[in-house]
A and B are shown apart, each in its own frame.
Chain A
Amino acid sequence: MATHDLWTPDRLPDPFAGVAKFLFDWIPLLVLVVGWEVASGRAVSESVLPPPTAVAAATVDLFATGEVIPHLAVSLLRVGVGLGLSIAVGVLLGIGMSQSDAVEDFFDVFLSLIYPLPKTALVPLALLWLGIGTKTAVLIVFLACLLPIVMNANNAAENVDQNLIRSARMMGTSDRRLFWKVVIPATIPEILTGIRQAIPFAFISLISAELIASEQGMGRLIRDAGSIGRYPAMFATIVIISAVAYTAVYGFEQIRERVLVWT
């Protein structure tokens, strides 16, 4: 009976359904690319909007000559460090604020202040303090990612089911161990949600910082290519960094699902 199940009619179309869904998901992008190809050189000047074929060729070229590699490496390092710092600080701060009124009162002011501020508006200021380069970019990425992580962690830590804490204390868990045994695991789903929300912010703020305050990195490459009229290379760089950001989000979501089998 069990092997028979494999051949029931509603079991077969599964792969086809998968393919169909894949096609439907990508049709809008396909339409865009084809429209772009047609428009380029006709509706808009080819020099302002190079066709996708030219962008694709430039992409291959950027990798083949190795030109993009150091820029990509620097950008990834900056995103990694900035995001990593914001996770470390954000989780500690978010949970710390839930555990102590003093901590909450102290940091609440700063968080309320930076909340409505577009983090990229701080690039010139950061540039002034930290100079051109990695430090400025990391600071901007860090600030842009901090809030979603703090807020999600804080919200979750404030709402840990009291009866879980009571149960743990009843079973002999000291207040100090409670943090690792209950508060952290109970907060992990929201921490991961916060990180997921922060990843796009990390890339947006990275490029903004590099456009202005860096001699290396993908943002700088976009600016350089644009300023000397290498428009296909400029578009190619945008495409590459977008693909990297997309992959980061998608990869992280896969990891999150693995980690959260219990939710």
Chain B
Amino acid sequence: MDGRIGISHLEKVYGEGSERTKAIDDLSFDIDGGEFTSVVGPSGCGKSTLLYIIAGFLDITNGTVSVDGTPIDGPGTDRGVVFQDYALFPWRTVKENVLYGLEEAGVPDEEADATAQRFIDMMDLSGFENKYPKELSGGMKQRVALARTLAYDPKILLMDEPFGALDQPLRETLQDQLIDIWGDLDKTVVFITHDVEEAVYLSERVMIMTRHPGTKKTVTEVDLDRSRPREDIVTSEEFTRKKNEVWRSLREETKSEVQP
């Protein structure tokens, strides 16, 4: 299946001279097409840097990052990014935002309209097509952002703490919606989060990064039956065990930060 991501001996250094910061140090990691992977790690360990490198926004200092075997060369429509701050175009209505990628791809108007409407409906945004982003709540904005990204059908979804600004009940709703989408649409998802529970609940694998300069520390495989309702999953023994495993590994990194 398409949407494979290969990361090999990745190193990222920001700045030069006295400003020089190594953000990522020798990170190797492969993600299969259609896989849901979360990345957790201490603040400043390089999670966003890693995601933006896969997105093609940042240059690589050393190593290679490839999608389906082709090294990444800038942003491209085979990938889609969802930001914590939504990044909706404020001058475009909900519908116009969702249409953006389709317009850029030159999809004929009628077909684009039908596709946009399909994802607007999928994200429970029907009736809000003609609203501007400023008229929407945070949860709705993030649903528009998701619809906008899904509409142009990238193979890979890159998400940087997408639900970090939302309150708990809303996060849970959106998490469940994301699981449904992932099940239906066969996307590779790379999901960055601070929230261990969110990482374990959503993903098949959780990569824990070391503290700054970040690299892969451990990878926890999570094999949950996600067709069950949320309450069954979060109360299951398997879920608790995985959560603790990730938490302990992460804890070692945040603790060692404080010690000399």
* Interaction A to B: yes
- A255 to chain B: closest CB distance in Å? 16
Select which of A161, A166, A168, A177 is within 8 A of B55 by beta carbon: A166
CA distance A171 to B148 in the complex (A): 9
Chain A residue nearest to B87 (CB atoms) is A163
Chain B residue nearest to A173 (CB atoms) is B104
CA distance A177 to B85 in the complex (A): 23
Select which of A170, A172, A186, A262 is within 8 A of B81 by beta carbon: A170
- A131 to chain B: closest CB distance in Å? 44
CA distance A121 to B148 in the complex (A): 54
**In the complex, how many residue pairs between chain A and chain B have their CB atoms under 8 Å apart?**
62
CA distance A188 to B83 in the complex (A): 24
Is there contact, CB below 8 Å, between A164 and B152?
no
DSSP majority for the A interface?
Answer: helix
- A236 to chain B: closest CB distance in Å? 44
Is there contact, CB below 8 Å, between A170 and B89?
no
- A261-B132, A262-B134 given; A170·B77 CB < 8 A: yes
Q: Say yes or no: is A70 at the interface (Cβ < 8 Å to chain B).
A: no
- A163-B87, A166-B55, A166-B81 given; A172·B101 CB < 8 A: yes
Is there contact, CB below 8 Å, between A171 and B90?
no
Chain A residue nearest to B145 (CB atoms) is A167
Q: Say yes or no: is B80 at the interface (Cβ < 8 Å to chain A).
A: yes
CA distance A186 to B90 in the complex (A): 8
- B9 to chain A: closest CB distance in Å? 25
Residue from A172, A186, A261 whose CB has the most chain B CB atoms within 10 Å: A172
Q: Mark A157-191, 1 if CB is under 8 A from B, else 0.
A: 00001011011111111000100001001101000
Residues of chain A lying within 8 A (CB to CB) of residue B91: 185-186, 188, 262
- A171-B104, A262-B91 given; A166·B134 CB < 8 A: no
Residues of chain A lying within 8 A (CB to CB) of residue B152: 171-172
Residue from B74, B77, B87 whose CB has the most chain A CB atoms within 10 Å: B87
Is there contact, CB below 8 Å, between A182 and B134?
no
Q: Say yes or no: is A112 at the interface (Cβ < 8 Å to chain B).
A: no
Q: Mark B101-136, 1 if CB is under 8 A from A, else 0.
A: 100110000000000000000000000000011100
Is there contact, CB below 8 Å, between B83 and A170?
no
- B140 to chain A: closest CB distance in Å? 16
Q: Say yes or no: is A263 at the interface (Cβ < 8 Å to chain B).
A: yes
Residues of chain B lying within 8 A (CB to CB) of residue A172: 76-77, 101, 104-105, 152
- A123 to chain B: closest CB distance in Å? 40
- B121 to chain A: closest CB distance in Å? 21
Is there contact, CB below 8 Å, between A171 and B100?
yes
- B253 to chain A: closest CB distance in Å? 27
CA distance A182 to B87 in the complex (A): 12
Chain A residue nearest to B79 (CB atoms) is A170
Is there contact, CB below 8 Å, between B55 and A170?
yes
Residue from A166, A167, A169, A182 whose CB has the most chain B CB atoms within 10 Å: A167
Select which of B75, B85, B92, B134 is within 8 A of A170 by beta carbon: B75
- A202 to chain B: closest CB distance in Å? 27
Listed by A's residue number, 25 A-B pairs whose Cβ atoms lie within 8 Å are A161-B85, A161-B87, A163-B83, A163-B87, A166-B55, A166-B83, A167-B83, A167-B87, A167-B148, A168-B104, A170-B77, A171-B77, A171-B101, A172-B77, A172-B152, A173-B104, A177-B104, A182-B89, A185-B91, A186-B91, A188-B91, A262-B90, A262-B134, A263-B90, A263-B134
Instruction: Please report A residues at the B interface, Cβ cutoff 8 Å.
Output: 161, 163-164, 166-173, 177, 182, 185-186, 188, 261-263
| 8 extra A-B contacts, CB within 8 A, seeds A167-B81, A171-B152, A185-B91 | A163-B83, A164-B87, A166-B55, A167-B148, A168-B100, A168-B104, A169-B57, A171-B104
